[in-house]
Amino acid sequence: MMQVRAAETTKMAELETHTMISDPYLPPIEKPDGLILKLIYGLLRRKFGKVFGPLKVFGARMPLAFLMFYGKVSQLDKKLVLPKETALLIRALVAQINVCLFCIDASRYAVIKESMNEAKFDALGNYRASPLFSDADRAALDYATELTRDKKMSPETFSRLARYYSERQICEIAWLVASEHIYNLTNIGLNIHSDQICDITKKK
């Protein structure tokens, strides 16, 4: 397990080097206007000891309706009939393909919080060969990979997905890929990187 964790740490370091980490393109807002934002900042500082970059750079500059929408996306995941692990594997893979460092770290935090199999998420980059993944997992992850990278879907990949998932579940998988892009591209577009949520959680 120590070797797996070391490999994951090395991978994150390589991603950070690849993306040439620098400050966000817009300066973080440390003291927001409005009571609701101040309350949210306070809650995050109390829980994590810091306010996360996406909120300080993006959320604090946008109408509250946008923050409510982001929260709604997260809440909608609780209404999925897909297993939690499958949903999180898809989000984590899309974040990795798009190289959204904040979302990669946030996915890892969710895995730890839900007490999921960390080794499986460590092996996500090798899901086609790893014995930790089922054929159903591979079908869903192939679909997510193709849709994220190519922005189109082949009949063969869709047909394989349909062998394992209901029509409702297929729609949920498409939604997970699409909605993950909202998080990823917002962060990438504003040069928002990881807040090391996992490290903060472990220290606590």
pTM (2 d.p.): 0.87
Which backbone phi and psi does 25 adopt, to 5 degrees? Answer: -70, -25
Q: Can you give the pLDDT at residue 107? A: 93
Q: Could you report the per-residue pLDDT of 60-90, keeping only the tens digit for each? A: 999 999 999 999 999 999 999 999 999 999 9
At residue 14, the 3 state secondary structure works out as helix
Cα 125 → chain centroid? 14
5 pLDDT higher than 60? no
154 pLDDT higher than 60? yes
Q: Can you give the pLDDT at residue 197? A: 81
What is the span of the domain harbouring residue 188?
Answer: 2-203
Do the beta carbons of residue 175 and residue 94 sit within 8 Å? no
Measured distance CA(30)–CA(27) in Å, rounded: 9
Q: Can you give the pLDDT at residue 152? A: 98
26 pLDDT higher than 90? yes
Q: Which two tokens stand for residue 127?
A: 């899901």
In the chain, the percentage of residues whose pLDDT exceeds 70 is 87
What's the alpha-carbon Rg for the chain, to the nearest Å? 17
Q: Could you report the per-residue pLDDT of 93-106, keeping only the tens digit for each? A: 999 999 999 999 99
Measured distance CA(6)–CA(118) in Å, rounded: 13
Over the range 87-120, which residues count as b (16 or more CB within 10 Å of their CB) and which as e? Answer: bbbbbbbbbbbbebbbbbbbbbbbbeeeeeeeeb
28 pLDDT higher than 80? yes
Whichever domain contains 26, its CATH number is: 1.20.1290.10
Q: Can you give the pLDDT at residue 196? A: 87
**Amino acid sitting at position 1:** M
Q: Can you give the pLDDT at residue 73? A: 93
Q: Can you give the pLDDT at residue 13? A: 47
| Nearest partner of 74 among 54, 57, 60, 56, judged by Cα | 54
Total domains in the chain come to: 1
2 pLDDT higher than 50? no
114-142: average pLDDT:
97
